[in-house]
Amino acid sequence: MLPQSIIPLAWRNLTENKRRLLASVAGTAFAVTLMFMENGFRHAMLDSMVNVIERLDGQIVIISRTLYTLAVPYSFPYRRIVQARDFPEVIGTSPVYVVTRSGYWRDLRDGSLDRICVVGIPLEDEVLNIDEVKQERDALGRPDTAMADALSRSASFGEFAAGQVSELSGHTIKLAGTFKLGINSQSNGNLIMSDRNLFRVFPQLAGKTEGDSAVTVGLVRVRPGTDLIRLRSDLQAAMPADVRVLTLEEFIAKERDFWDKVAPIGTVFYIGVVMGFIVGCVICYQVLFSDISDRIGEFATLKAMGYSNLRLFRVVVMQGVYLALLGYLAGLAVSLLLFRWVHEATGLPLDLSRNDPLAILGLSIIMCVLSGAYAARKLLSVDPAQLFA
């Protein structure tokens, strides 16, 4: 009556016919793939929306109270981040300028203009965790230079390379090099410039005095060991209501939340995951049900031998668990290939490890156990006499 004695029976039921096993696992694996894919697309979309924010080298950010997504950058005056320097826990502050709407890059191949996202940073501070940008700091300091994202959409901009000279919103710009950041549904390419160069291209951001310059994100670096939540609240209390102070994690969560829950696209992928789950349930049910039907004679014999309903039920459910595990492994393998393929085609960051693999495993097991339990109802009514029917 111990589970160990049941395990081989469920396992052997499942693996007895190799071709059939292959078909069953393939069915389950594809349902798993479907869930992985929809969830993966959702994560890729969300990850790509926070690609710039995640590279910010700081612990606390100051943003305009109006800002609800970085894709619609609303700014606040530079003097707010100067105020933050009064706090003893703060080591340094830096402004980050983001232009998403008015930056146009001229494609060297055909002279067409395409919108590009431009990030401006002060070169004196460590602002962005991008190695290539740190290495090329001197080159970025020269007038009218920028670095371009090698992962930008090549159909819009061609291949970026160091030394290329083109035009950003009417100003001649020379590329000092490339870096790898990635694009998202709101921008097809990225440029990074020094704040001074940015002000030459977009003088409206500079403001009348330094204190008026239009900052999108104010980055605050704090002493190690500082209580971030407390400092964030203290900073908020000290600032006027036109800005909001958040920890970097809160800022990332807020940005993801907008695209996940408010914008339609996140919901669409949720529905995809749910549909994948339902398809998976139906497939598993189909597999387990036809298996029970085939072995109804054997199950009847077991019952005649004195096996209880519960025990037979457990055999079928265990069979479902094995099916889920095999299907999950196969689905994982297929998804890995698929993710690489989609990544190459769209440039979106598809990373399986960030894609709740355990949650999908959980869903796969729930899916198979549920459908196993439902299919096993047939066993309750099985009659040993059926053997000879």
For residues 170 to 199, the per-residue mask of contacts with other proteins, x marking binding by CB under 8 A and - elsewhere, is: -------------xxx--x-----------
Q: State in angstroms the smallest separation of the CB of 245 from other proteins.
A: 8
Q: State in angstroms the smallest separation of the CB of 186 from other proteins.
A: 9
Nearby residues of 64 by Cβ (< 8 Å), 6 or more positions away: 74, 75, 76, 216, 242, 243, 244
Nearby residues of 88 by Cβ (< 8 Å), 6 or more positions away: none
Task: Decide: 71 and 186 in contact? Cβ < 8 Å.
Answer: yes
Interface stretch with other proteins, choices 111-119, 296-304, 351-359, 379-387 (CB under 8 A): 111-119
Give the residue, chosen from 112, 129, 172, 309, that forms a contact with other proteins under the rule CB under 8 A: 112
The angle at the Cα of 127, spanning 124 to 132, to the nearest 5 degrees, equals: 90
Q: Is 44 in the site for other proteins (CB under 8 A)?
A: yes
Interface stretch with other proteins, choices 142-150, 193-201, 257-265, 357-365 (CB under 8 A): 257-265
Q: Between 160 and 285, name the residue whose CB sits nearer to other proteins.
A: 285
Task: Decide: 218 and 95 in contact? Cβ < 8 Å.
Answer: yes
Tokens of 273: 């995951």
Q: State in angstroms the smallest separation of the CB of 136 from other proteins.
A: 27
Binders of other proteins: how many residues, by CB under 8 A?
73
Nearby residues of 228 by Cβ (< 8 Å), 6 or more positions away: 59, 60, 222, 247
Task: Decide: 198 and 118 in contact? Cβ < 8 Å.
Answer: yes
For residues 322 to 361, the per-residue mask of contacts with other proteins, x marking binding by CB under 8 A and - elsewhere, is: ----------------x---x--xxxx-------------
Q: Between 26 and 304, name the residue whose CB sits nearer to other proteins.
A: 26
Give the residue, chosen from 12, 65, 142, 230, that forms a contact with other proteins under the rule CB under 8 A: 65
Give the residue, chosen from 15, 21, 55, 68, that forms a contact with other proteins under the rule CB under 8 A: 68
* 3-state class (DSSP) for residue 291: helix
Give the residue, chosen from 114, 126, 167, 234, that forms a contact with other proteins under the rule CB under 8 A: 114
For residues 119 to 158, the per-residue mask of contacts with other proteins, x marking binding by CB under 8 A and - elsewhere, is: ----------------------------------x-xx--
The angle at the Cα of 239, spanning 233 to 242, to the nearest 5 degrees, equals: 110
Q: Is 24 in the site for other proteins (CB under 8 A)?
A: yes
- Compute, in degrees rounded to 10, the torsion defined by CA atoms 343, 135, 52, 332: 30
Q: What is the CA radius of gyration of the chain?
A: 29
Neighbours of 134 (CB within 10 A): 15
Q: Between 38 and 195, name the residue whose CB sits nearer to other proteins.
A: 38
Cα distances from 343 to residues 230, 350, 353, in angstroms, run 40, 6, 14
Beta-sheet strands, E only, within 180-265: 190-194, 214-215, 217-222, 243-247
Q: Between 83 and 236, name the residue whose CB sits nearer to other proteins.
A: 236
Give the residue, chosen from 129, 135, 172, 290, that forms a contact with other proteins under the rule CB under 8 A: 290
Q: Is 63 in the site for other proteins (CB under 8 A)?
A: no
Give the residue, chosen from 115, 116, 120, 367, that forms a contact with other proteins under the rule CB under 8 A: 115
Interface stretch with other proteins, choices 86-94, 258-266, 301-309, 355-363 (CB under 8 A): 258-266
The helix (H) or strand (E) run that includes residue 271 is: helix 264-294
